[in-house]
Every structure is written in structure tokens, then in C-alpha cells.
Amino acid sequence: MDLLHKFLNIVLLPITLTVLLLFMPPFLFLKFLWSFKRSIYRENVADKVILITGASSGIGEYVAYEYAKRGALLALVARREDRLQAVADRSRKLGSPEVVVVRADVSKVEECKQFVDEIVNYFGRLDHLVNNAGVVQIRLFEVFTQFSNIASVMSCAVHMASLRGKSSHELPAKTPLIFNVVLSLHTLSHT
């Protein structure tokens, strides 16, 4: 076994170094070109309809502000309507032409369907979903039991996906739907 290890060390070291020297420079160059292209050709979200769940605080709040700075039409969803109104007011000041506030609990499947349909009916389309509602408690995995809450939050994305298959007369504007799913851990102290 010792002889095999010595042989592999002698043979594999030059092979590994050669492969690294041959493939690493083109890989890094292509990676640089890709990042350069992405910085130039950013998606223009001005006048696109963005639905953000969990928008009353944390990640959802700041995602709303970033989209507002870029001129997106916002639909903000959370359970705490007073905080949601404050986020909506600031989003308008940052440049969002229109902000709709919806008080809903994304852990309830029917409410998810209702607010997605409400937003689609109001704006005529839905371009992006930022599914960021925190509905789980921070616990060890061994004692975690709230898998049904996670599944119900994902129902918003499932309901949006069902809209993609609708014909143009059922869904007035056909634009690509992009799902940005962020599972943030919050305690349920807000409920």
C-alpha cells in the first residue's frame, strides 16, 4: 500500500498541476467575462410587478426598498399591516410608482391564492415573486415539527406557477415569472 501511495503521489502531482495550469486560466477568464456581461446587462425591473411576501421587516423590507429604487411596481404582503404601510410609504419615496399593500398570512393556502389573484387582477400581470415570509421557529432539526408551515408558504409559488399556463385572455399580460425564494428564520412571536 505504501508503494501505491508513493507512486500516486509521484504520478498524480504533475498531472494535477498540468490540468490546473491548462484549465484554470480559461475558466477564470470566462468567469470574468460572464460577471462583466451580467454587470452591463442587468435586468430592467422598472414598471415590472413584484410581489414580496414577508415585506414588513427584515430581508423582505430591504428587498422592497431595492426594487423601489429601480422603479418597480410593488405588491407587499405581510401579517403586520401597520409595518407594511410604513414600508410602502418609504418605497414610494424611494421611487416606486405604485405600491399595493395586502395584509395576509402566507401560512394559509387560501390566503395565498387570494392575494396572488388579487395582485394579478389589479396590475394585470405578475413578473417576480420574492417569497420571503418567515413562518418557522428557530429550533434544532431533531425537534422541528413545522414542516406544514413551510409547505404552505411554498403554495404561493405553486399558485403563481399555475398562472403561467393560462391563455392570454385569462391572464392579460404574459411575462416571465421569476421565483426568488428566500426562507428566512423568524420566531413566531409576531403572531
> What are the domain boundaries of the chain?
1-42, 49-190
**How many Å apart are CA 135 and CA 191, to the nearest integer?**
9
Res. 94: pLDDT tops 80: yes
Mean pLDDT of the chain: 78
The pLDDT value recorded for residue 152 is 54
User: Which one is predicted more confidently, 160 or 29?
Assistant: 29
Is residue 171's pLDDT more than 50?
no
Alpha carbon distance 170, 55 (integer Å): 28
Query: Does residue 172 carry a pLDDT above 50?
Result: no
The three-class DSSP label of residue 177 is coil
| Total-model pTM | 0.62
**What's the rounded Cα separation, in Å, for the pair 151 and 11?**
51
In this predicted model, what pLDDT tens digit does every residue of 103-140 receive, in sequence order?
A: 998 878 788 888 888 998 999 888 888 888 765 555 56
Q: What is the model's pLDDT at position 83?
A: 95
In sequence order, what are the residues at sequence separation of 6 or more whose Cβ sits closer than 8 angstroms to the Cβ of residue 67?
A: 45, 50, 52, 74, 91, 96
Task: List for the chain the helix, strand, coil content (%; round to 5).
Answer: 55, 15, 35
pLDDT value of position 2: 84
pLDDT, position 162: 61
* 190 band by pLDDT with thresholds 50, 70 and 90: very low
**pLDDT above 70 (res 38):** yes
Angstrom distance (rounded) from CA 122 to CA 126: 10
Cβ atoms 106, 135 nearer than 8 A: yes
CA-based nearest residue to 135, from 189, 64, 65: 189
Percent of the chain with pLDDT over 70: 70
CATH placement of domain 49-190: 3.40.50.720
